[in-house]
Amino acid sequence: MDARLERAIGDLLDRRRADASICPSEAARLVDPDGWRTLMPAARAAAGRLASAGRVQVTQRGEVVDLATGVRGPVRVRRPRSPG
């Protein structure tokens, strides 16, 4: 399931503009349209793993955050951006 969610995040970002972001729930819905709510913790974890690997950035209110620090509330996932 973890790999499926990671692929879903990548696939969704590939379909968007380079500067667009997605919600982890979109990946969960893509993997399991009926049971997506139960996948939300796993979807956030998948985003965190991808961020740790440098493949995505996780943001909250437009600022890059680290999910490993216990960030609560809604987050978005985007492709990495250069500083500045």
Q: What would the pLDDT profile of 54-67 be if each residue is shown by its tens digit?
A: 999 999 999 999 99
| Residue range(s) defining the domain that contains residue 25 | 2-78
Instruction: Note whether residue 70 is domain-resident.
Output: yes
Instruction: Note whether residue 17 is domain-resident.
Output: yes
* Among 36, 71, 32, CA closest to 51: 71
What pTM does this model have? 0.94
What total number of domains does the chain contain? 1
Instruction: Note whether residue 83 is domain-resident.
Output: no
> CATH code at 65?
1.10.10.10
**pLDDT tens-digit profile of 25-81?**
999 999 999 999 999 999 999 999 999 999 999 999 999 999 999 999 999 999 998
Q: Which long-range contacts (CB under 8 A, 24 or more apart) does 22-25 make?
A: 22/76, 22/77, 22/78, 23/74, 23/75, 23/76, 23/77, 24/75, 24/77
